[in-house]
Amino acid sequence: MWKTLPGPLRARNWFSRDGMYYLLFFLVIALGLWAFAEIADEVLEGSSQAFDQWVLESLRTPGDLSDPLGPGWLEQSVRDITALGGTAILTLITLAAVGFLVLEHKPRTIAFLLLAVVGGLLLSLALKAGFARPRPDFLPHGQQVYTASFPSGHSMNAAIVYLTLAAILARAHRARVIKIYVLTTALVITALVGVSRVYLGVHWPTDVLAGWSAGAAWAMFCWLLIYHLQRRRMVEEEAGDTDTGSGPA
């Protein structure tokens, strides 16, 4: 019976290097979904309100909620950083990645990337519409906003786009130091975008935590899927795939 299952799902393969990667993927996805569910439950019950408000007030000048802590140049820098999670910037970055993959002659990877990014964006919008949480209204917003608050779209979409692109780029190189650098850069950018949303007062902290959790879970699901499709030769192979024992990153 075990021989009829796909290779990665056979019991004997769970203890191989390849099988351990699958287990790691599933674990991270499960942790992301669990974290999102826990945060969402706290938000719906109103248990997180005191914490959210305390964090936002701590980032404002005492006695003047319209003034974020720090000098003017810091606020401007944070505005620049938060743009890295905006739809326009993420679209440009995605299109640039598509252009790179066109030059690499990888049409199926392009299709996968677009489905991952667009699917994540639609999921973010659906979650916002479903929860319909109002934005923080007790202090001035440091940026114009148009959608609901939970989860943070900038945080979630940044995690989806940057982590998915990092996964694809990491698999294009054999050198472990390059893989680590690419993934670390994606994580740092995603973290900075989320923090910037709270600093500007356009999101509750739990919005950002939920966005990170959902975005990371979606990105890891996409990473797992493309890894599996590459192993089955359904998506163009990346560097190192000629060795069936190689890992996903």
Report domain 15-59+70-231's class.
Answer: mainly alpha
Q: For position 18, what pLDDT does the model report?
A: 67
Q: How far apart are CA 157 and CA 133, in angstroms?
A: 18
Q: How far apart are CA 109 and CA 230, in angstroms?
A: 9
Q: For position 16, what pLDDT does the model report?
A: 65
Q: So where are the chain's domains?
A: 15-59+70-231
The SS3 assignment for 66 reads: strand
Q: For position 65, what pLDDT does the model report?
A: 73
Which residues carry out catalysis? 154, 203
Q: For position 112, what pLDDT does the model report?
A: 87
Q: For position 244, what pLDDT does the model report?
A: 44
Q: How far apart are CA 153 and CA 208, in angstroms?
A: 8
pLDDT mean by block of 10 residues, the chain; 249 residues? 47 60 84 94 89 88 78 90 92 91 86 90 90 77 65 91 85 77 92 93 91 92 82 68 50
Q: For position 162, what pLDDT does the model report?
A: 93
Q: For position 196, what pLDDT does the model report?
A: 93
Closest C-alpha among 146, 147, 169, 181 to residue 226: 169
For residue 109 the two structure tokens come to 């990877």
